[in-house]
RNA sequence: GGGGCCGUAGCUCAGGGGCAGAGCAGGGGCCUUUUAAGCCUCGUGUCGUGGGUUCAAAUCCCACCGGCCUCACCA
């Protein structure tokens, strides 16, 4: 008989004794934390506690145990002479992991531990599977990352002190983000996840099928084009905390579904958005970790405004010695990069080579720009939804925000010229025709909305998962997502 | 997708051609203030899966499944 069968048999034995191993309700009247905090005031009172059985120390005719609820753990003391032979014998039917309810009065043991002296106890829920084993200090141990991610409930049980604060921080981040944006007059909205066309980013989508309409729909890769339709509709400040889906590989900073906050502000440009973003992140940091100063992977950074501001060209020229504006075509740029020790990928165009130069100074723990920093003025051909910088033909009014080697978000002055936008989409269509299946689709309905008229608008999209990584010092995105996407588990 | 490392009991891990192991958890027994309780005692099992080599495979080889790291790609 394996352990699960032993536990099933104990549940049956309880039923045979007329005790439901899964009763519908509990008579708990105090939490563990309340009990410990008000220990002296509760002296002499009969109280009822409940929680999961995590230690059991039978000592003949008396038994010590610990139960744990969401607020803490407390010792209970059960004496045969006081609960009766029949009830005491029922202790044999208990296992670690079971939920118990215990009624009694408080006392302090010889060794000074605050303890419930039990007069009666009962089962609240029988656990059929064992908890992860206890290790040093009597705490549970569970290290296997595969089990931790597939069965997060075990991870939370075994590694509560390390894990729970991360997800509490994530909740605080979302709350603080809403507080700040709401206080600035932004309206939170929800736009379609199922979209007839996908847009707003360059990525491959997940495709699904609507049976009644007999048509394919896409899970959104970004909410951008819908949010800008709302700007057209007169909602001048709008945001969405959007779950996005991208059908790409996953690694320490990418999960196929992830959360992005996008916000748009009419009559603002990308420089206004920089000020908004640095204030937003500083507010979130203060609300979440109590300070704008944080440590990420051993590096201390300060999110307090103002953040650094560098053009992409300046930043790259300063840190790599390559001034890409001096090299107007792919070949000369590639040659300049080789001269500085880079190995430019021969398959990449000029824009993507510039992207590689950017990554070399931004990414990773050795990044030269740890700071929070805005890099701005991006190559236009990488930014089909961004307005061109006045007086230039190849530069977009766009910035990206970085901190500690993480890309936090992306913003531009939104392109609101419908004729220009159509031309950009058509250029993307040509890239699609050449086989780039991530190039953006032509969205006629969106063009029509722009033709109705969109005021000058600045917009930002920032990853919530990466922000959580930054504020909780986690280097893997799977540690800030409760149930990260995993490969299917096969039984063979 | 490429490369490297890994997969042994519920958990944490040893063992790396010759009987399947330890600690904790679990079963049986003793113990009325213990606390990682203690003492005695018993068994943990598709050694990821499937092939192959061998007298003999957890161990060596191949494929597959899953994980971790890394590179590429993407955000």
Residue nearest to nucleotide B12 (CA to C1'): A141
A486 touches strand B (CB under 7 A): yes
Identify the pLDDT of residue A146: 80
Is the alpha carbon torsion for A283, A288, A289, A294 positive or negative?
negative
Q: What is the pLDDT of residues A125-150, one digit of tens each?
A: 999 888 876 654 456 667 778 888 88
CA-to-C1' span, A120 to B32 (A): 17
Q: Residue holding tokens 């995993």?
A: A486
Strands A308-311 and A373-379: parallel
CA-to-C1' span, A146 to B65 (A): 14
A84 touches strand B (CB under 7 A): no
Q: What is the pLDDT of residues A76-132, one digit of tens each?
A: 999 999 999 999 999 999 999 999 999 999 999 999 999 999 999 999 999 988 887
Higher pLDDT, A330 or A419: A419
* Measured distance CA(A221)–CA(A137) in Å, rounded: 46
- The tokens for A269 are 């440009």
Strand order in the sheet with A207-210: A194-195, A215-219, A207-210
Nucleotides of B under 7 A from a protein CB: 1, 10-13, 23-28, 30-38, 44-45, 48-49, 65-75
Residue A28 has pLDDT above 90, yes or no: yes
Q: What is the pLDDT of residues A356-377, one digit of tens each?
A: 888 888 776 566 778 899 999 9
The nt closest to A140 (CA vs C1′) is: B11
Provide the whole-model pTM: 0.91
ipTM associated with this complex: 0.82
Integer CA distances (angstroms), A25 to A62, A100, A120, in order: 27, 12, 16
CA-to-C1' span, A469 to B24 (A): 33
State which residues between 452 and 471 of chain A bring their CB within 7 Å of strand B: 463
A363 touches strand B (CB under 7 A): no
Please, what are the domains in chain A? Answer: 3-131 (2.40.50.140), 160-307+371-479 (3.30.930.10)
State which residues between 221 and 250 of chain A bring their CB within 7 Å of strand B: 246, 248-250
Mean pLDDT of chain A: 89
Q: Which helix (H) or strand (E) holds A266?
A: strand A257-266
The nt closest to A201 (CA vs C1′) is: B75
């Amino acid at each position: 008989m394996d352990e699960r069968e032993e536990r099933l048999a104990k549940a049956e034995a309880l039923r045979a004794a007329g005790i439901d191993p899964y009763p519908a309700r509990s008579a708990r009247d105090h939490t563990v934390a309340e009990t410990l905090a008000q220990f002296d005031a509760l002296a002499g009172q009969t109280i009822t506690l409940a929680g999961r059985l995590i230690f059991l120390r039978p000592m003949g005719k008396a038994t010590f145990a610990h139960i744990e609820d969401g607020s803490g753990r407390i010792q209970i003391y059960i004496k045969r002479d006081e609960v009766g032979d029949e009830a005491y014998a029922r202790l044999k039917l208990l296992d670690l992991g079971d939920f118990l309810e215990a009624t009694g009065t408080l006392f302090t043991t010889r060794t000074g531990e605050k303890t419930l002296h039990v007069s009666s106890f009962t089962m609240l829920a029988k656990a059929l599977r064992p908890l992860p084993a206890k290790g040093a200090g009597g705490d549970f141990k569970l290290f296997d990352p595969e089990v931790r991610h597939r069965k997060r409930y075990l991870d939370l049980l075994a590694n509560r002190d390390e894990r729970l604060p991360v997800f509490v921080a994530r909740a605080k981040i979302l709350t603080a983000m809403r507080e700040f944006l709401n206080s600035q007059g932004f309206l939170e909205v929800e736009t379609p996840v199922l979209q007839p066309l996908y847009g707003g980013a360059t990525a491959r989508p997940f495709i699904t099928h609507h049976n009644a309409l007999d048509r394919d729909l896409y899970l959104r890769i970004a909410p951008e084009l819908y949010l800008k339709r709302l700007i057209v509709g007169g909602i001048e400040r709008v945001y969405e905390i959007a779950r996005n889906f991208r059908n790409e590989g996953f690694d320490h900073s990418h999960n196929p579904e992830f959360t992005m906050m996008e916000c748009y502000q009419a009559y603002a440009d990308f420089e206004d958005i920089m000020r908004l973003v640095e204030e937003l992140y500083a507010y979130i940091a203060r609300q979440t970790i109590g300070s704008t100063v944080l440590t990420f992977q051993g590096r201390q950074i300060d999110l307090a405004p103002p953040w650094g501001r560098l053009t992409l060209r300046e930043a790259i020229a300063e840190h790599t010695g390559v001034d890409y504006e001096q090299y107007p075509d792919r070949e000369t740029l590639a040659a300049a990069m080789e001269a500085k020790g880079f190995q430019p990928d021969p398959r990449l165009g000029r824009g993507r080579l510039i992207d590689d130069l950017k990554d070399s100074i931004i990414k990773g723990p050795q990044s030269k720009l740890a700071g929070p920093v805005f890099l701005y003025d991006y190559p236009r051909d990488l930014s089909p939804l961004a307005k061109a910088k006045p007086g230039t033909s190849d530069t977009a009014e766009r910035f990206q925000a970085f901190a500690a080697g993480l890309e936090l978000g992306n913003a531009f002055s939104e392109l609101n010229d419908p004729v220009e936008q159509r031309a950009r989409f058509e250029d993307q269509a040509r890239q699609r025709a050449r086989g780039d299946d991530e190039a953006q689709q032509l969205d006629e309905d969106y063009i029509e909305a722009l033709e109705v008229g969109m005021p000058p608008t600045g917009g930002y999209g920032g990853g919530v998962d990466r922000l959580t990584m930054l504020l909780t010092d986690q280097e893997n995105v799977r540690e800030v997502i409760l149930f990260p996407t995993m490969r299917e588990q096969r039984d063979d």
